[in-house]
Amino acid sequence: MSAALSVGVDSGQPIPTVTAKGEVDLTTTSVWREAWSRLWQAGVTAPVVLADTTGVTFFGSAGITVLLEMVREARERGLELAVAASTTVRRSLQIVGVDSLIRVYDTLDEAQEHIGAARAGEANGNGAYWKPPAVPRPREDATPAELVRYLRAENLQLREALETRTVLEQAKGIVMAREEVSSDEAFEMLRRLSQRTNVKVYDLSAQLINRVARRGSRR
């Protein structure tokens, strides 16, 4: 296990959880991904799985990439993935817009309380960070037309997440080549610029890619 990142896996009920403490970057994501693999291999059946990142002190673009992969994996299994986030992780998710795709909580206790209430049918959605799924799951007796609408909406959401990841990777590549920095350093530069300009990293990345493309077309 990396000295910079420690992980834990609890595949039991009521809320299967993968815990991460330390730094999630390009050198440690394999440790985090392996922890998620152990969770999936345990054959979890609970409707919600939790990523406990309240102990994470650095969350780079590689961590966001793995998180999006796990969100997709969970949905393919008919599950939902939620995150209990440290301030660092929440900021990273907000900057790239991932917080609009998943439920994000400020503390582990808050996450466990709300998820537990939801499972008991008691949640009312009034929590500060309680967000309903962007694509509500269909009823068991849903008509074929309703199932088609659900699948189309979910596929659109997944395509948007993939597009976000692709744009970020392209922009990081440009910054890495220009500044001769690592992937995480490139993302950090984009993140700091996002904070200074109050523009989301995704939008900055798209602008950068477009500028490079226009310059290339004029040559």
The CB-side HSE value for 96 (13 A sphere, CA atoms) comes to 33
Residue 199 — left, alpha, or beta (φ > 0 → left; ψ -120 to 50 → alpha)? Answer: beta
Architecture of domain 5-218: 2-Layer Sandwich (3.30)
The closest alpha carbon to 23, from 68, 71, 60, belongs to 60
**What gap in Å lies between CA 150 and CA 158, rounded to an integer?**
12
Domain edges within the chain: 5-218
Contact 194, 95 (CB under 8 A): yes
> Which pTM does this prediction carry?
0.61
How do residues 3-51 score in pLDDT, each as one tens digit? Answer: 589 999 998 878 999 999 999 998 999 999 999 999 999 988 788 899 9
- Report pLDDT digits (tens) over 117-139: 665 543 444 333 333 444 556 66
